[in-house]
Structure formats: structure tokens, C-alpha cells
Amino acid sequence: MTSDTITIAPFDTAHVPDALGLSRQAGWPHRAEDWGLTLSTSRGVVALGGGRVVGTALCSLLGDVATLNMIIVDEAMRGRGLGRRLMDAAMALAEGREMRLVATTGGLPLYEKLGFRSVGRIHQHQGLAKGGLPDLPVRDGTVDDVPQLAAMDEAASGLQRALLLRRIAEGGEVLRADRGFALIRSFGRGDVVGPIVAEDADTARALLTEAARRREGGFLRVDLRDPALVPLAEELGLAAAGGGTAMVKDARSTPATLAKTYALVSQALG
């Protein structure tokens, strides 16, 4: 198979089984359900060759911002320019929006050539959660809280994700504090906590601690945007497990706000 025989086509649900195989080949823990969550807010493309999917790229449309994600090339097809073709197609789907992504080490040179610049590091932590007691009160929230939480989330991230947060809340747990919130859902090998959005670090710490308490003894993952929470994650049994470089292209200015994203929904969805 040569690069000349590979075509780029729109991603549809029939491609999920092959896409799942590619993510497993890359060592990612995604289940079909995890692909489904990302696809619920995304357009995408696949590279087709020899009657199968040999590459994927998604573009998640979240208001004035698009996140580019699930950019995978079959290991047998790497080094032939296919990643660039997939990225060009995914970037076209962004339709002039600010674009964000989380880069692996291997993808970083391509993204820099395409004009993305680094804006920080994402710290992935995971493991069997250890219980802890939060220093601030944390209570249960409900799906009815989502409009308020989505407004806080948008202020912090610039992303319009009300429908996404509702979908997560409907199948997961909502944690609320006086100055922030977090969501817990099934993902990969166990559960993930994210986003964690708060107006101060103490609130973010309390939300992460409560999530670990509720999942004590179970597998829990968090993708931290703020390195200040790394020591706490490790105390809670969540060891460093890689991460990536947060990158942006065509960035837009955002208004000042107290709200801050301490942990991502996922590396795909910001």
C-alpha cells in the first residue's frame, strides 16, 4: 500500500471499530463508548487504504474554539506524510475557529510546522485511588446544575460545552463546592475526574480529594492542566503516567475571570 492509494473520507460510525483498533495500537485506553463521547461533539476524517481505516483525525466544535484530537496513523503507515494530510483535513473542519490540541512527543514537530505553539504541559496521573478527606465541603450536584456549571466552565476555558457536560453528568457524578465543580465518569480502565473547574486552588484540591475518596481502591485518572495539583494527585495514589504538550493556533483573547480549569474533561476535549 502506498500513500497514493490512500483516500481521506468523512468519519462515520461505521469506522468506529477500526478506529478503536488504531487507538489500542497506539496504547490508548479508549473504549467504543469513549470514542462515542468525543464523536458526539465532533466532525472527523479517516484515511482509507486496502479496505480499512489506517488513520483518523477529529475536530470537536466547542463554540468559537475547536479541539483537534484522536489523530492516529497506523504504525505501518507512518513516515509517508499521512499525518499531515489528516491534520490538513481536520483543520479545514475547524472553519476559522481557534484550534487547540494536546501533542504527543511524536506529533510535536508536525504541529509546530503547522503553526501551533506550546501553551503548557498536561500532566496525566492515574492509579488505584487512596481515600482522603477534603479540606472544604463538597456536595453532590445534579444534571439540573449543568447550565450554571457550563457557564463557569466557559468562563474558565472559553469552550461552549453545555451539551457535553450534560451528557457526562447524566451518566456520571457531579461534585459541587461553593467555588467550583468536578465531574466523574467511566473511561478506559476505570473512571476519570474532569473537568475540575474552580475559582481557587483550595477548592480544586478539595474536589480532587473527594473524587479519590469516592473511588477509593478503584482505578482513577486525571489530566491536570495546573501542575500545582501534581503532589496531591500522587498523595492520592495517582502516579504520573505521561501527558502531552498543550498547543494552540489562531488564539483569541479571553476576558479575565476567577474561574480556572485545573483538570481537563479529556486530552481530546480540553
Domain ranges of the chain: 3-96, 124-241+251-263
Fold entry, domain 3-96: Aminopeptidase (3.40.630)
Amino acid 165: pLDDT: 98
Amino acid 109: pLDDT: 95
Amino acid 2: pLDDT: 55
What tens-digit pLDDT sequence spans the chain (270 residues)? 555 689 999 999 999 999 999 999 999 999 999 999 999 999 999 999 988 999 999 999 999 999 999 999 999 999 899 999 999 999 999 999 999 999 999 999 999 999 999 999 999 999 999 989 999 999 999 999 999 999 999 999 999 999 999 999 999 999 999 999 999 999 999 999 999 999 999 999 999 999 999 999 999 999 999 999 999 999 999 999 999 999 999 998 888 889 999 999 999 999
Amino acid 104: pLDDT: 94
- From the CB of residue 81, how many other CB atoms can be counted at a distance below 10 Å? 13
3-96 and 124-241+251-263 in the same fold? yes
At 17, list the grid cell. 471499530
CB-based contacts of 157-162 (< 8 A; 24+ apart in sequence): 157/195, 157/197, 157/261, 157/270, 158/63, 158/64, 158/65, 158/98, 158/252, 158/254, 159/62, 159/63, 159/65, 159/67, 159/270, 160/62, 160/63, 160/64, 160/65, 161/41, 161/62, 161/265, 161/269
Distance of CA 32 to the CA centre of its chain: 15
Fold entry, domain 124-241+251-263: Aminopeptidase (3.40.630)
Amino acid 216: pLDDT: 98
